[in-house]
Amino acid sequence: MIITKAKPFPEILQSLQREETVFLVGCSECATVCKTGGEEEVKAMRERLEQEGKVVSGWVILDPGCNLLEARKEFRKHKEEVTHADSLLVMSCGGGVQIAQEASGKVVHPANNTLFLGTVKRFGQFRQYCSMCGECILDLTGGICPMTRCAKGLLNGPCGGANDGKCEVNPDNDCAWIKIYDRLKEIGRLDEFIASPVQLHDYSVNTKPTTLLLERNGPGMEDK
């Protein structure tokens, strides 16, 4: 799940200062869960903008906001409202903002800041477990990602600065490498890691921007 945080409303108003009429775009998935771009938040944004003298020509909740074909389809349904708007205020992640621009051709403004790929601990509580690095080593580290959960991103062991099992960079966090050590010991894989520790990350596997094309191959899918 892509975790987003709403921009301060004055910052949004500042970005919209040159536009009078706005069309709002929300997202049915991640932004809805984060309460930054679901139907409730989109309606609240419409009300706040109208109180500030803006004209809201319409709104839509894309399902999801990062799907180009879905965005084009929904914008066609709302063609008059989208055309009439000076710009789109997109209440989703950065990917959704760019999809809205590509699908509509309009000026776009992000209503949210995109923070990280997160997991859901419980409603309203999100944690970053994955950095989408392109070279997953979770099988070697007991299912705990040192690239993300170690504040320094160390891949071959702890830095030595932990205190009482807590990270020296952020004492609120457990030391990722102590957790990895305990987990590998628990599942009987510690000796294997010590014999061949992870040392290098191949950053070439995650050059930007990245494209993945899938094509059907019988009953399954494979990358092209």
- Residue 145: in which H helix or E strand, if any? none
The pTM of this model reads 0.79
Residue 172 DSSP symbol:
T
Neighbouring residues of 55: CB distance < 8 A, sequence distance ≥ 6 = 20, 21, 22
Question: What pLDDT is recorded for position 220?
Answer: 46
Last-in-domain residue among 84, 115, 146: 115
Bridge partners, residue 126, by sequence: 120
CB atoms within 10 A of CB 210: 9
* Same domain for 189 and 155: yes
How many residues would you count in the chain?
Answer: 224
Question: What pLDDT is recorded for position 138?
Answer: 83
What is the spatial distance between Cα 83 and Cα 57, in angstroms, rounded to a whole number?
9
pLDDT tens per residue across span 40-80: 999 999 999 999 999 999 999 999 989 999 999 999 999 99
Number of H helices, E strands in the chain: 9, 9
CA angle 212, 218, 221 (to 5 degrees): 20
Asked whether 140 and 124 are in contact (CB, 8 A), the reply is no
What's the first-to-final CA gap in the chain, in angstroms?
25
pLDDT tens per residue across span 147-205: 999 999 999 889 989 999 999 999 999 999 999 999 899 988 898 888 887 778 887 87
Question: What pLDDT is recorded for position 223?
Answer: 44
Read off the pLDDT band of 206 (50, 70, 90). confident
Range of the domain at 139: 135-206
Residue 122 covered by a domain: no
Count of domains observed in the chain: 2
Residue 180 covered by a domain: yes
CATH (domain of 64): 3.40.50.2300
Residue 215 covered by a domain: no
Question: What pLDDT is recorded for position 199?
Answer: 72
Inform me whether the pLDDT recorded for 131 exceeds 90: no
Inform me whether the pLDDT recorded for 222 exceeds 80: no
CB atoms within 10 A of CB 28: 17
Question: What pLDDT is recorded for position 120?
Answer: 75
